[in-house]
Structure 1
Amino acid sequence: MKDQQRLSDFKAMSEDQLNDELLKLKKEQFNLRFQRATGQLENTSRVRIVRRDVARIKTVAAQKKRAGAKK
């Protein structure tokens, strides 16, 4: 349910907003990996959620890019 909501949120974003969100998630992903390596990571499920959100954003961005190229 929440995945569908995030996907629709990503689809509503412009390409610049998607790039900004992707950059933010990449930074969070780096910080989570660093926390896991040092043994400070408390919410281990967040790693999976962030990884999947990155993939969702990349997919939506590619779809928008293809749709823009067809016009």
Structure 2
Amino acid sequence: MANKAEDIRKLSREERASKLNELRDEQFNLRFQHSTGQLENTARMREVRREIARIKTVMNEQVEAAD
């Protein structure tokens, strides 16, 4: 798990924002598939949610460090 956070820290601010937007789009699509009964890999919802949380955590750490 720490490796993922370290990888996120290595990304630039723009890359993190881009990755966050991609994950939010994927999360929306997964929720839509789940509600229509088309989602086969329900574990992916959890993975995406946690990846979003990791990115937001690193972004908040960067903001706190800048202050």
* TM-score, scaled to structure 1: 0.88
The DSSP-based 3-state class of the residue aligned with 2:32 is helix
Partner of 1:33: 31
Give the CA deviation at 1:54: 0.4
* Partners of 1:5 and 1:32 in 2: CA distance: 25
1:1-71 matches, within 5 Å, as 3-69=1-67
Give the CA deviation at 1:5: 2.3
CA RMSD of aligned residues (A): 0.9
Q: Which moved more, 1:60-69 or 1:40-49?
A: 60-69
Identity %: 46
Give the CA deviation at 1:4: 2.4
* TM-score, scaled to structure 2: 0.93
Give the CA deviation at 1:57: 0.3
* Partners of 2:28 and 2:2 in 1: CA distance: 25
What residue ranges of structure 1 are gaps of 5+ in the alignment? none
